[in-house]
Amino acid sequence: MPVLLATTNKGKRAPMEDCLRAWGIFCATPEDYPFEDIEETGETFFDNALLKARHASFSTDLVALSDDSGLVIPALGGAPGVFSARFAAQNGGYDGAFVELEKRLEGLSHRAALFSTMVLYWPDGTYKTAQGQTWGTLLFPPRMGVGFGYYPIFCPDGFDRTFSQMSIDEQRSCSHRIKALTQLKRFFVRP
Strand order in the sheet with 127-138: 27-28, 3-5, 63-72, 111-121, 127-138, 154-156
Q: Which of 47, 68, 157, 169 is labelled catalytic?
A: 68
Exposure string of 95-126, with b = 16+ CB inside 10 Å and e = fewer, is eebbebbbeebeeeebebbbbbbbbbbeeeee
How many CA atoms are closer than 13 Å to the CA of 32, on its beta-carbon side?
14
Length of the chain equals: 191
Contact partners, residue 172, CB within 8 Å, separation at least 6: 15, 18, 19, 178
**Residue 2: helix, strand or coil by DSSP?**
coil
Whether 68 is catalytic is yes
Active site residue ranges: 68
